[in-house]
């Protein structure tokens, strides 16, 4: 499994950096006037960062979806943006499609051991009519995902290609399914209103012009991926790790945000510790989706959806 060590080149000397930083801090702490300059600079930098975040497209999303949210029972006066400063460094987002499943709890157990939060794109019919579990069990899984601080995204109600992409009213079906799932997640969690969706099979090659028209300004935001593990067809952990390394190698340098497409398969569960250690070794910070820090990521490169 040499592939897991492939990107050791990018690992930096974390201990040396921390030691150097401490020495610098001790020196600066004795310089009162310089400290005041630094504090002033930090205040100015923080103000600039907040201004930048307030101008984030998520604000436009909220403003454009007031009517939809009002129908969902959210008063207009609550439409304030909770500004959250991004965590510095490179970020990796583990995203799991098609749950809940018999493996969801195992995935959650593993993430808890690492102290990692992830993003779960759930399918409505897998909650309401799951062949492997009762509705009550599926509901408990959704509640656990939310309770443990992970983010729940929308992955349609049916996940059926013909209904979502090929029927006469496909675009309207797509929107209606996302809205229905939005309401279902809120009903189960009692508080989360998710406006993040992942199109089944991705937006590229599936979305028509009508899909783009309907979803633009709908109040929902698309999120695809930039690292595809292809775990849905992988027969070994090595195959998954090699595909991750291949996708990373396509970049001139390591991406600032790596959004990894995963599914809740047995092979995925087996590979997950290796994936986590792999990105930890490259000093990536594991993140779950945060609405206030939204960034565009769809395979159509379309900022409107």
**Of the candidates 266, 274, 227, 269, the residue with the CA atom closest to the CA atom of residue 3:** 274
The pair of three-digit structure tokens given for residue 4, joined into one six-digit string: 């897991």
Burial of residue 239, with CB atoms counted within 10 A of its CB: 0-12 exposed, 13-18 middle, 19 or more buried:
middle
Asked whether residue 56 is assigned to any structural domain, the reply reads no
Report how far residue 289's alpha carbon sits from residue 296's, in angstroms, rounded to the nearest whole number. 12
Burial of residue 127, with CB atoms counted within 10 A of its CB: 0-12 exposed, 13-18 middle, 19 or more buried:
buried
Calculate what percentage of the chain has a pLDDT beyond 70.
71
145-183 per-position pLDDT tens digit: 999 999 999 999 999 999 999 999 999 999 999 999 999
The pair of three-digit structure tokens given for residue 295, joined into one six-digit string: 């960034």
pLDDT value at 37 more than 50: no
The pair of three-digit structure tokens given for residue 7, joined into one six-digit string: 């990107």
Q: Give the DSSP H or E segment for 15.
A: helix 14-29
72-113 per-position pLDDT tens digit: 444 433 333 334 456 678 999 999 999 999 999 999 999 999
The pair of three-digit structure tokens given for residue 180, joined into one six-digit string: 């229905």
Angle between the N-to-C axes of helices 135-147 and 170-189, in degrees from 0 to 180, rounded to the nearest 10: 80
Asked whether residue 220 is assigned to any structural domain, the reply reads yes
Q: Which residues contact residue 144 at a Cβ distance below 8 angstroms, ignoring those fewer than 6 apart?
A: 105, 108
Asked whether residue 20 is assigned to any structural domain, the reply reads no
Neighbours of 223 (CB within 10 A): 23
Asked whether residue 67 is assigned to any structural domain, the reply reads no
Asked whether residue 116 is assigned to any structural domain, the reply reads yes
Classify 196 as helix, strand or coil.
strand
**Of the candidates 76, 152, 142, the residue with the CA atom closest to the CA atom of residue 119:** 152
| Residue 67 confidence (pLDDT) | 53
Angle between the N-to-C axes of helices 135-147 and 104-114, in degrees from 0 to 180, rounded to the nearest 10: 20
What is the pLDDT confidence band of residue 71, given thresholds at 50, 70 and 90? Answer: low
Average pLDDT over residues 15-28: 43
The strand pairing partners of 262, in sequence order, are 96
Weakest-pLDDT range from 34-48, 120-134, 172-186, 281-295? 34-48
Q: What is the CATH number of the domain that holds 124?
A: 3.20.20.370
* DSSP per-residue codes, 139-170: HHHHHHHHHTTPEEEE--SS--HIIIIISTTH
**What pTM, to 2 d.p., does this model score?**
0.75
8 Å CB contact between 154 and 119: no
SS3 content of the chain, % helix, strand, coil (to 5): 50, 10, 35
**Of the candidates 241, 169, 179, the residue with the CA atom closest to the CA atom of residue 211:** 169
The pair of three-digit structure tokens given for residue 33, joined into one six-digit string: 């006037």
Report how far residue 122's alpha carbon sits from residue 230's, in angstroms, rounded to the nearest whole number. 18
Asked whether residue 208 is assigned to any structural domain, the reply reads yes
Domain hosting 170: range is 91-293
**Which positions are catalytic?**
97, 263
Asked whether residue 245 is assigned to any structural domain, the reply reads yes
Classify 287 as helix, strand or coil.
strand
Asked whether residue 301 is assigned to any structural domain, the reply reads no
Report how far residue 201's alpha carbon sits from residue 162's, in angstroms, rounded to the nearest whole number. 12
Say which DSSP state 191 is in: S
For the chain, the domain total comes to 1
The strand pairing partners of 122, in sequence order, are 99, 154
What is the pLDDT confidence band of residue 143, given thresholds at 50, 70 and 90? Answer: very high
């Amino acid at each position: 499994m040499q592939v897991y060590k492939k990107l050791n080149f990018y690992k930096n000397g974390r201990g040396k950096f921390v030691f150097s930083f401490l020495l610098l801090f001790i020196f600066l702490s004795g310089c009162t006037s310089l400290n005041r300059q630094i504090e002033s600079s930090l205040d100015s930098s923080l103000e600039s960062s907040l201004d930048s975040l307030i101008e984030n497209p998520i604000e436009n999303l909220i403003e454009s979806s007031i009517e939809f949210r009002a129908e969902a029972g959210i008063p207009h006066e609550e439409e304030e943006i909770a500004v959250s400063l991004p965590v510095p460094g490179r970020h990796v987002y583990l995203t799991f499609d098609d749950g809940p499943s018999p493996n969801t709890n195992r995935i959650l157990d593993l993430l808890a051991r690492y102290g990692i939060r992830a993003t779960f794109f759930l399918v409505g019919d897998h909650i309401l009519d799951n062949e492997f579990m009762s509705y009550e069990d599926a509901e408990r899984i959704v509640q656990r995902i939310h309770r443990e601080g992970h983010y729940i995204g929308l992955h349609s109600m049916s996940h059926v290609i013909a209904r979502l992409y090929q029927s006469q009213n496909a675009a309207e079906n797509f929107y209606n399914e996302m809205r229905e799932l939005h309401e279902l997640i809120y009903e189960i969690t009692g508080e989360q209103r998710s406006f993040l969706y992942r199109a089944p099979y991705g937006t590229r090659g599936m979305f028509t012009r009508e899909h783009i028209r309907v979803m633009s300004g709908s109040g929902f935001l698309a999120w695809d991926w930039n690292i595809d593990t292809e775990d849905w067809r992988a027969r070994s952990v090595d195959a998954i790790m090699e595909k991750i390394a291949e996708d990373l190698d396509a970049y001139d340098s390591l991406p600032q945000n790596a959004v990894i497409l995963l599914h809740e398969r047995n092979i995925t569960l087996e590979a997950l510790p290796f994936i986590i250690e792999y990105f930890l070794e490259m000093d990536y910070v594991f993140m779950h989706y945060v609405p206030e820090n939204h960034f565009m990521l769809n395979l159509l490169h379309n900022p409107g959806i």
